[in-house]
């Protein structure tokens, strides 16, 4: 994006970007490029150069701006500001914009005309399905891997980021026209099952299991794990249970399948509460039969090799030492950092399973792209994984989408008073309870059913928005008071803006009846239309570096702009074209807020 005055923008073509030929920004860019093509210096333009127009960072200078003159100045041997003035003088904005103005070292600023804004509002109103957001020109089949909790363990606060970011990215990608396949790659295999199997047979409380299975399975696992640290023979017994499972023992397989079934039931309750769903739940066990043949294939292709009885993958020397994930610098010396895919005892590892997963997603699911929403500590694992895939000749676009940590007010990892990891179910329950208290105080006349529904929408929305309003790599502080505040950049503030758009029609006593044309008379109306028009420019950028926070910022700005309109522009007291225009702006704002919040996975409510 275009930065503040004095900084040059970098424009990158990204694979998921749709055509936005009908946004105000691209219409201005088309006219700007036509001007450059007819200029006296057209012959000096770099081959393939296309000027871009972006939303102005400071509205005092204009609605949109371009730094094309600063980019081209050296190439055409002119002073940037003088070149900008020459371009502005030749620019024909027609009915779209006024004569461009020059600011700073050579920014070209554009102000959209009232007629163009009125026309744009009408276009958006007549596009209820997409609200000015164009569809992708190269729709991809994208397999999106996110959430991925472990079986027999509750989801904790650390799962918030992967689950909520992944769900939002899936919603945005689908909205843009991509074929998105979501896969919850659950941890349903591994050494912990030896302990769970022994515990199931020796320590299980069946009544507790029936009442709430995941806490009981976790209790069993923790108790066995503690015992194995003191009793070596028990550790060996647990290993024996695991070996029996892996060898196909019927009793152990039945217990394992029951654990998965019970865990999925418990997990689904949380996913339903979050309004998150998956197309597949293909856990680690799904790929077991493919691991042995995969290792054999990697060895046969000279990608993997034997080392001290294990099968590993070393650097192939094609990358620089700094970029190569199979090398590391230690004490000033470059040393091998191989990927282990089969242990000396014949056991397989996460890397083996993940390589088999890539194979399946490309060959069976037809993926053009694989997106992994996983914590930043897994960076090396995925760097190695993607390099191995490249060496195997696989062409899918592989994207690691990391995120930071959620902190308590002490800026340390968020934990309970007892020092344990906070469970996600407890977070959601408390958020809903806190929202309910606020509703009881603010609107006691609502029915219990209405209060519960609104508290759920606000409580869950607050947790989601607290996550999605942050850049995903930022560590953020989990603060109830901030999350649930009715003022500021919060879900309640945005949802309240939507509620206001609906309240006007309840007062009117009827739904929106339509409008033939917009009559814009006040600055607050024009500002609102401009912000509404920028929805189509904002949504596609979410997939540029995978930043839902960009959409969250836009929605906060829209809500703020609408509140200013609400205060400055009476609606029902007006008459004729002005009244009809303002009713239409309320309707359109409601549509954009509901759609935008929906892309973040946040529901709305008609009352608060």
- Asked if pLDDT for residue 123 goes beyond 70, the answer is yes
pLDDT bracket for residue 10 (50, 70, 90): very low
Give the list of residues 6+ apart from residue 250 with CB closer than 8 angstroms, or none.
none
Phi, psi dihedral angles at 56 (to 5 degrees): -65, 140
Distance CA 149, CA 476 (A): 22
What does the block give as tokens for 535? 């929805």
- With 50 as the cut, is the pLDDT of residue 555 above it? yes
Residue range 346-371: mean pLDDT, rounded: 96
Task: Determine the Cα–Cα distance for residues 237 and 243; give it in Å rounded to an integer.
Answer: 10
Predicted pLDDT at 17: 44
pLDDT at 518 over 60: yes
Instruction: Read off φ and ψ for residue 419, nearest 5 degrees.
Output: 90, 5
> Which residue, 189, 176, 146, 227, is CA-closest to 18?
176
CB 68 within 8 A of CB 2: no
Please write down the HEC assignment for all residues of 122-140.
Answer: HHHHCCCCCCCCCCCCCCC
pLDDT at residue 61, rounded to an integer: 87
User: Strand 64-66 relative to strand 107-110: parallel, antiparallel, unpaired?
Assistant: antiparallel
Query: How many other CB atoms are there within 10 angstroms of residue 551's CB atom?
Result: 22
Q: Is the pLDDT of residue 9 over 70?
A: no
- The first and second tokens of residue 583, run together, are 């009713």
Locate CATH 3.30.1360.70 in the chain: 24-112
What proportion of the chain, given as a percentage, has pLDDT over 90? 80
Supply the pLDDT for residue 419. 59
CA distance linking residue 434 with residue 455, whole number of Å: 8
Confidence band, pLDDT 50/70/90 cuts, at residue 173: very high
> What is the per-residue DSSP string for 298-320?
HHHTTSSEEETTEEEE---S-S-
In this model, does residue 64 exceed pLDDT 80? yes
List, for residues 483-513, the tens digit of each pLDDT value. Answer: 888 889 999 999 999 999 999 999 999 999 8
How far is 587 from 514, CA to CA, in rounded Å? 9
The CA distance from 555 to 164, in Å, is: 17
Class of domain 24-112: alpha beta
| 367-383 residue pLDDT tens | 999 999 999 999 999 99
DSSP bridge partners of 317: none
Question: Which pLDDT band, with edges at 50, 70 and 90, does 415 fall under?
Answer: low
Q: What are phi and psi of 373, to 5 degrees?
A: -100, 95
Kindly report, residue by residue over 183-237, the tens digit of the pLDDT: 999 999 888 899 999 999 999 999 999 888 888 998 999 999 999 999 999 999 9
Q: In this structure, what token pair is assigned to residue 86?
A: 């020459």
CATH architecture of 424-599: Orthogonal Bundle (1.10)
Contact 380, 325 (CB under 8 A): yes
> What is the C-alpha separation between 284 and 357, in angstroms, rounded?
9
Q: What is the pTM of this model?
A: 0.92
Q: Give alpha helix (H) positions in 469-511.
A: 480-483, 491-508
Q: Give start-end residues of each CATH 1.10.730.10 domain in the chain.
A: 424-599
Q: Rounded to whole angstroms, how far apart are CA atoms 575 and 577?
A: 7
pLDDT above 90 for 72: yes
**Neighbouring C-beta atoms of residue 238, cutoff 10 Å:** 23
Average pLDDT over the chain, rounded to whole?
A: 92
Q: Which of 371, 364, 375 has the alpha carbon at shortest distance from 402?
A: 375
pLDDT over 90 (residue 436): yes
**DSSP character string of 402-471:** ----EE-TTSSB-B-TTSPBPBHHHHHHHHHHHHHHHHHHH-TTS-HHHHHHHHHHHHHHHHHHHHHTS-
485 in Cβ contact with 552 (< 8 Å): no
* pLDDT at 20 > cutoff 60: no
Name the E strands within 19-169. Answer: 54-55, 64-66, 101-103, 107-110, 141-145
**CA–CA dist 394, 355 (Å, integer):** 11
Tens of pLDDT along 317-348?
999 999 999 999 998 899 999 999 999 988 89
Residue 21's pLDDT is 47
By C-alpha distance, which of 574, 486, 487 is closest to 525?
A: 574
């Amino acid at each position: 994006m275009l930065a503040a005055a004095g900084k040059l923008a970098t424009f990158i073509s990204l694979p998921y970007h749709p055509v936005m030929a009908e946004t105000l920004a691209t219409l201005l860019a088309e006219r700007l490029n036509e001007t450059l093509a007819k200029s006296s210096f057209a012959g000096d333009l770099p081959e393939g150069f296309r000027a871009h127009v972006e939303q102005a960072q400071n509205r005092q200078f204009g609605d949109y701006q371009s730094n094309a003159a600063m980019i081209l100045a050296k190439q055409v041997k002119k002073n940037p500001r003088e070149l900008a003035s020459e371009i502005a003088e030749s620019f024909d904005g027609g009915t779209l914009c006024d004569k461009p103005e020059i600011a700073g070292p050579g920014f070209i600023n554009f102000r959209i005309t009232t007629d163009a804004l009125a026309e744009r509002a009408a276009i958006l109103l007549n596009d209820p399905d997409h609200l000015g957001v164009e569809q992708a020109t190269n729709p991809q089949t994208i397999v999106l891997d996110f959430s991925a909790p472990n079986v027999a363990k509750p989801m904790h606060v650390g799962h918030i980021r992967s689950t909520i970011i992944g769900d939002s990215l899936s919603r945005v990608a689908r909205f843009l026209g991509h074929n998105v396949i979501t896969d919850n790659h659950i941890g349903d295999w591994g050494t912990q099952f030896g302990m769970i199997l022994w515990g199931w047979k020796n320590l299980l409380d069946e009544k507790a299991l029936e009442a709430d299975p995941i806490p009981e399975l976790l209790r069993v696992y923790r108790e066995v794990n503690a015992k194995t640290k003191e009793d070596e023979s028990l550790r060996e017994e647990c290993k024996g249970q695991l070996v029996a499972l892996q060898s196909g023992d019927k009793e152990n397989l039945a217990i394992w399948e029951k654990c998965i079934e019970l865990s999925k039931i418990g997990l689904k309750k949380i996913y339903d509460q979050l309004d998150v769903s998956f197309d597949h739940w293909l856990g680690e066990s799904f790929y077991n039969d493919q691991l042995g043949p995969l290792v054999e294939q990697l060895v046969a292709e000279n990608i993997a090799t034997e080392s001290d009885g294990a099968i590993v993958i070393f650097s192939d020397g094609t990358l620089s030492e700094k970029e190569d994930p199979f090398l590391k610098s230690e004490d000033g010396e470059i040393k091998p950092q191989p990927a282990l895919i089969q242990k000396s005892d014949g056991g397989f590892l996460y890397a083996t399973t993940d390589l088999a997963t890539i194979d399946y997603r490309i060959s069976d699911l037809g993926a053009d792209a694989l997106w992994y929403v996983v914590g930043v500590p897994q960076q090396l694992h995925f760097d190695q994984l993607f390099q191995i895939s490249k060496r195997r000749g696989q062409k899918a676009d592989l994207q690691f989408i990391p995120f930071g940590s959620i902190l308590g007010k002490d800026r340390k990892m968020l934990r309970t008073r007892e020092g344990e990891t906070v469970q996600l179910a407890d977070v959601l329950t408390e958020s809903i309870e806190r929202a309910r208290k606020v509703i009881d105080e603010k609107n006691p006349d609502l029915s219990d059913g209405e209060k519960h529904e609104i508290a759920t929408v606000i409580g869950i929305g607050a947790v989601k928005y607290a996550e999605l309003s942050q850049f995903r790599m930022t560590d953020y502080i989990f603060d109830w008071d901030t999350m649930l505040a009715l003022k500021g950049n919060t879900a309640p503030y945005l949802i309240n803006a939507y509620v206001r758009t609906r309240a006007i029609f309840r007062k009117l006593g009827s739904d929106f009846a339509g409008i033939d044309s917009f009559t814009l008379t006040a600055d607050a109306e024009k500002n609102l239309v401009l912000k509404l028009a920028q929805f189509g420019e904002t949504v596609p950028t979410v997939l540029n570096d995978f930043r839902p926070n960009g959409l969250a910022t836009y929605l906060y700005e829209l809500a703020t702009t609408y509140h200013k309109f609400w205060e400055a522009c009476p609606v029902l007291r007006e008459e004729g074209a002005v009244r009809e225009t303002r009713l239409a702006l309320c309707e359109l704002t409601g549509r954009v807020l509901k759609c935008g919040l929906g892309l973040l996975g946040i529901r709305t409510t008609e009352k608060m």
